[in-house]
Structure 1
Amino acid sequence: MKNNETLMSEFESKRPFQWLIHCAAWGVLFGLPFFFTGREAQPVTLESYLRFVIIPFSFMIVYYVNSLMLIEKFLFTKKAWKFAASNVVLIASAMIFVHLMMQYLPNPHIGRPRPEREWQDAFLFFLGNAVLYLLVAGLSVAIKMTNSWYKVQSDKTALEKERAEAELKNLKSQLNPHFLFNTLNNIYSLISFSPERAQGAVHELSKLLRYVLYENNQHFVPLEKELDFLRNYIELMRIRLPEQVKLETRIESGEASSALIAPLLFISLIENAFKHGVSYSNPSFIHIQIMAADRYNLTCEITNSFFPKSDQDKSGSGIGLSNLRKRLELLYPGRYVLECGQEGSLFRAVLRLTLKEENV
């Protein structure tokens, strides 16, 4: 997650590259006379080069006065008329400066008669070159506005990421107590009729909590670690199952063992299967299958008999599935399919994910 200081440091780190581009562009412009020298062309002398560089030098003044001062002071503060007036004064001053310099610098074309009507030449000079200066000022505005837009978009993206990170962290904080709450309920039900099995369940729970506390702090974990956690959880739940419940599991990472996955994604689906799929008086079943079709696509399919809980049983309060949907939308937007629903006397949940590679 990037804070404002990190964004500013990244922005500052790009400035040397930007100035390098500026130097290259101005270097090409100032070096134009040397690019067109040849046998038939006039040789570049000090006097002719000085007369040439006056114009790009004035362009540079107009560009950077706009970029470093006028745009931020007037245009970004919605004082367009002050910006326009300042540019009129700036461009007029630049053109007067160029005209005067051209008059007083030595002219390499000796023998050329001086114009008799200098005011007309000055007027034509101003009129002919005003468009060029306006283009330079416009280029400065375009580049400055583009850089500003990219910075605003970068800040906006960072703020959206921070919001998503905060929401994800909040969902995780809800998930951990929810998982612990349901597991403790299961262990509590064992104490009354099998204290030894309850003791073993507490030991298994300590292993699960170690994973939840240490691995859940990461955004993504290796798939095989997550599947080991699910296998341990299922074995913990198996301890309290009555004999008439048929539990079948097939959990294999296959080619996707090196892929990364967000932790605790499937636990809500498995918890619901044990919560609603087990009856102590009727035959019931839970079928859990988690398989990888290839290196990137994983499918979790859970089918169980369905015995809805009464209104008095509020354990979990149904936050598991809604929490899962929000996490999937934050972590796997456009890369998941979640289907849950009752089919007659059964309940079926299917989650398909496109995983991340290990080096991503």
Structure 2
Amino acid sequence: MKNNRIALYIDLLFCLVIMPLAITLLPVDRWIVTNTAFLVTLVLYVYALYFVYRCACLPKLFMQKKYLHIVLLLVVLIAVTELLTHFPMPPHLVGDKRQIMGKLNMRTQTIWFLFLMVTGFSLAIELTFELFRQILSRQEVEAEKNKAELALYKAQINPHFLFNTLNTLYALVLSGSDKTESAFVKFSGILRYMYSQNGAELIPAERELDYIRQYVDLQTLRLNHHTQVDLSIESRKEKVLVPSMLLITFIENTFKYGSSPDTDCKIYIHILVDEQHLLFETENAVMRKREDGIPGIGIENCRKRLDLLYPDCYTLQTGEHDGIYRVRLEIRIQE
């Protein structure tokens, strides 16, 4: 729709501004009296030539490798232009043969000048539009590619999260804990949230933060007094949009590797959301490590999602120092 409107404006610019200015360079005052038929034919020819170019779209034919169509069209247009140069002179124009030849030469030069002017202007416009169409096409392809990649990364993260949460519930069931029923209620709420957001990359912060609170509550149900959880959430603008199911990957790791049933430890989680930033920080003592020593896919997928959603607009720092694993993520939110 927007492209059609721009094309209409350009056509109006040519028809109402450029061509009338070009025609004023001609001896219109003489031709309209002495050779009205030729002047009318010339004006109609110029406008017809412009719209033939606009409809044919030579750059598009060239991209489609329809070279024969281009050659035939140019041959026909050149032939018509050449025929126009032989438009008969009015019978009442008599005089010196040299003067008549001078008038014919001037008329021929005028016709070919207008032909070249319209051809150049039309080709320039069509090349610009074709370039614009190519750019839009690449952007659409890239957007679809990014969308597919985001869906893949989320699909990899969610099963990983579900698997670990089911392990937590299984442990509660085996231990016969009286917290089991409450845990299943929270888990069902988490599942409803996850699948209600299916396909949404950005959601209101209040919904994501509420989901994180439920998840932390669910995890604390299986912990004893040796693991303390400090969750701090500050939301100064809850309607701002944030990535769905992103922070939970880091929070999940704090419980997986930073909790212990027999050693005192602490998990610290801090989230701040305002109009322009999302700040997320976690700290936990490293109580266990991956047995294979290979980094998990969760954090790597989060980096890829961030690269797609916030290119050059985020910083993510992760690492272990003195037995404490820290995560700091800051996103510059663009509303």
In the superposition, the TM-score normalised over structure 1's length comes to 0.79
SS in 1 for 2:291: coil
What is aligned with 2:83? 96
Is 1:306 matched up with 2:286? yes
Q: Is the 8 A contact 1:341 1:348 kept in 2?
A: yes
Structure 2 segments unaligned to the other structure (5+ residues): none
Distance 1:213 1:124, change over 3 A: same
Listed one character per residue, the Cα deviations across residues 170-221 of structure 1 (whole Å, up to 9, x for unaligned) are 2222222111111111122222324322222111101111111113432221
- 5 Å matches for 1:330-345? 330-345=308-323
Residues 251 and 290 of structure 1 are in contact (CA less than 8 Å); yes or no, is this contact kept in structure 2?
Answer: yes
Aligned-partner SS, 2:329:
strand
Alpha-carbon separation, structure 2, partners of 1:121 and 1:34: 17
Partner SS state of residue 201, structure 1? helix
Return the alpha-carbon distance in structure 1 between the equivalents of residues 159 and 297 of structure 2: 11
RMSD: 3.4
* Mapped partners of 2:183, 2:172: distance in 1: 9
1:130, 1:80 → 2: CA distance? 24
Seen in structure 2, the aligned counterparts of structure 1 residues 33 and 140 have a Cα distance that, compared at 3 Å, is closer
- Secondary structure, counterpart of 1:252 in structure 2: strand
For residue 14 of structure 1, report the CA deviation from its aligned partner.
Answer: 4.2
TM-score, normalised with respect to structure 2: 0.85
- Which consecutive residues of structure 1, in runs of 5 or more, have no partner in the other structure? 1-9
Report the secondary structure of 2:229's partner residue.
Answer: strand
Residue in 1 that maps onto 2:306: 328
1:258 pairs with 222, 225, 239, which one? 239
What does residue 5 of structure 1 align with?
none
Task: Name 1:187's counterpart in structure 2.
Answer: 169
Amino acid at match of 2:269: I
User: What is the Cα deviation at residue 127 of structure 1?
Assistant: 4.6
Shift of 1:114: 5.6
**Of 82, 95, 112, which residue of structure 2 is paired with 1:130?**
112
Distance 1:227 1:312, change over 3 A: same
Letter in 1 for 2:56: M
1:267–1:105 Cα change, 3 Å: farther
- Relative distance call for 1:88 and 1:240 in structure 2 (3 A) is same
Q: 1:276 aligned to 2:265? A: no
> Who is 1:3 aligned against?
none
Q: In the TM superposition, what is the alpha-carbon distance from 1:243 to its structure 2 partner?
A: 1.1
Shift of 1:272: 0.5
Q: Whole-Å Cα distance in 2 between the matches of residues 124 and 84 of structure 1?
A: 28
Aligned partner of 1:268: which letter?
A: T
| Aligned match of 1:240 | 222
C-alpha change, 1:68 and 1:35, in structure 2 (3 Å) is closer
Identify the match of residue 144 of structure 1 among 121, 126, 139. Answer: 126
Paired residue secondary structure (1:162): helix
Partners of 2:185 and 2:282 in 1: how far apart? Answer: 26
Measured at CA, do residues 35 and 87 of structure 1 come closer, stay the same or move farther in structure 2, by a change above 3 Å? closer
For residues 79 and 65 of structure 2, the distance between their equivalents in structure 1, rounded to whole angstroms, comes to 23
Alpha-carbon distance between aligned partners in 2 of 1:81 and 1:352, rounded to the nearest angstrom: 58
2:277/2:332 contact within 8 Å kept: yes
- SS of corresponding position for 1:248: strand
Query: In structure 2, how many angstroms separate the alpha carbons of the residues matched to 1:82 and 1:238?
Result: 73
| Distance (whole Å) between structure 1 residues aligned to residue 189 and residue 45 of structure 2 | 74
Residue 74 of structure 2 is matched in structure 1 by 87
Residue 163 (structure 1) aligned to one of 130, 145, 158: 145
* Cα distance in 1 between the residues matched to 2:179 and 2:91: 102
